[in-house]
């Protein structure tokens, strides 16, 4: 392709991806399956990697999520909420591991925290002196929507942390999702009433969480699993601050569990990166038995010092990747489905 043809392909991909982002993140109404979106994004990233001069500062490959809905007040995240990079095959996973070793300058075995990739939406929960004071969506990564009242209706999210050993300020990051059973009930009710059905549990969770009336959210049976920590700090009343942060990523998740925050029961601490492939296969085989929808696994370097050494790129950490499952949905299937927020 000539430079000019490549440049117009980049412009076309950018336009399409931005439009799909708006439909998915802002309207909660995707018009194409994720696999199609992922294919376009990959094509854009491939061109940008081979022709860095074509990579615009505001390229969708550099951004997290979409715009925030103005119907909600905005929350500025004290620490950004990032996305994840993806791998789609064993070869790509091996290439990711090689990059980790190259960046660390060592072939030492890496302990990995292996987690299902929950198909819902990311939220940040802020606890001050043990009390839930604010909850926000990821939004564009730096600014999210204030959805505190809606989050308060989710039964598995504690309004007050257990015990008294927690930092003054603790931001918990995790996924709000709709269990498969709740999704099926919701759609069955919609069909009975002659209303539109939701296309998938992720879409239903996003639409339910971004309701202006929290009474509607309360009826939707949403659930939550914690998978990380955001900002941690002190307050005058509770000065534990960062001293509370101990151990590896997995140990931190265990600490969150003792405070009453739910953690996905499938999360495993693996002794080496070589065990990740078996974890991926096992979860893939059992995917249909799980009571919630997942679209892959998330594999994270467990050692926090190594995470810090590896750092971040524009939209994702370098120390983690989503290892995604093969696509289940086809474009032709989605075309017949009606969507609703």
Q: Which of 50, 98, 117, 215 is catalytic?
A: 117
Closest CB to ligand NAD among 72 and 224?
A: 224
Using the contact rule CB under 6 A, the part of the chain among 83-91, 179-187, 213-221, 271-279 near ligand NAD is 83-91
Contact 141, 74 (CB under 8 A): no
φ, ψ for residue 114, nearest 5 deg: -110, 125
Q: In whole angstroms, how close is the CB of 17 to ligand NAD at the nearest point?
A: 8
Q: How many CB atoms within 10 Å of residue 332? A: 8
Q: In whole angstroms, how close is the CB of 194 to ligand NAD at the nearest point?
A: 26
Decide if 117 is catalytic: yes
35 marked ligand binding residue: yes
Say which DSSP state 193 is in.
T
Contact 300, 110 (CB under 8 A): no
Question: To which residue do tokens 């101990």 refer?
Answer: 246
User: Using CA atoms, how far apart are residues 279 and 315, in angstroms rounded to an integer?
Assistant: 26
Contact 147, 207 (CB under 8 A): no
Q: Which of 13, 20, 110, 266 binds ligand NAD (CB under 6 A)?
A: 20
CA neighbours within 13 Å on the CB side: how many for 240?
15
What would the x/- binding string for ligand NAD be over residues 226 to 265, using CB under 6 A?
Answer: -x--------------------------------------
The Cα diameter of the chain in Å comes to 64
Q: Which of 68, 75, 112, 118 binds ligand NAD (CB under 6 A)?
A: 118
Q: Which residues are catalytic?
A: 117
Residues that bind ligand NAD (CB under 6 A): 20-21, 23-24, 30, 32-34, 37-38, 64-65, 83-84, 86, 115, 117-118, 121-122, 138, 175, 227, 298, 322
Q: Would you list which residues are annotated within the binding site for NAD(+)?
A: 34-38, 83-84, 115, 138, 175, 300, 324
């Amino acid at each position: 392709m000539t430079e000019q043809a490549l440049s117009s392909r980049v412009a076309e991909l950018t336009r399409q991806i931005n439009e799909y982002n708006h439909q998915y993140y802002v309207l909660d109404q995707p018009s194409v399956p994720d696999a199609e979106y992922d294919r376009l994004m990959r094509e854009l990233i491939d061109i940008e990697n081979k022709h860095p001069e074509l990579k615009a500062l505001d390229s969708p490959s550099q951004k997290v999520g979409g715009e925030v809905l103005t119907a909600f007040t905005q929350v500025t995240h004290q620490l950004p909420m990032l996305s994840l990079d993806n791998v789609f095959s064993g070869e790509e996973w091996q290439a990711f591991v090689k990059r980790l070793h190259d960046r660390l300058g060592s072939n030492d075995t890496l302990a990995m925290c292996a987690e299902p990739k929950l198909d819902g939406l990311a939220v940040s929960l802020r606890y001050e002196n043990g009390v839930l004071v604010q909850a926000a969506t990821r939004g564009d990564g730096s600014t999210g929507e204030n959805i505190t009242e809606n989050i308060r209706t989710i039964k598995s999210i504690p309004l007050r942390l257990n015990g008294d050993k927690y930092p003054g300020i603790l931001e918990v990051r995790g996924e709000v999702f709709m269990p498969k059973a709740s999704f099926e009930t919701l759609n069955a009710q919609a069909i009975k009433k002659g209303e539109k059905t939701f296309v998938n549990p992720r879409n239903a969770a996003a639409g339910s969480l971004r309701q202006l009336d929290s009474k509607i959210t309360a009826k939707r049976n949403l659930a939550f699993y914690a998978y990380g920590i955001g900002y941690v700090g002190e307050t005058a009343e509770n000065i534990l601050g960062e001293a509370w942060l101990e151990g590896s990523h997995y140990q931190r998740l265990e600490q969150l569990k003792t405070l009453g925050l739910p953690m996905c029961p499938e999360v495993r601490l693996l002794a080496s990166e070589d065990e990740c492939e078996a974890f991926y296969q096992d979860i893939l085989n059992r995917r249909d038995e799980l009571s919630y929808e997942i679209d892959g696994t998330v594999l994270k370097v467990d050692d926090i010092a190594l995470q810090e050494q590896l750092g971040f790129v524009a939209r994702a950490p370098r120390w983690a990747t989503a290892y995604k499952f093969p696509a289940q949905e086809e474009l032709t299937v989605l075309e017949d489905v009606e969507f609703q927020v």
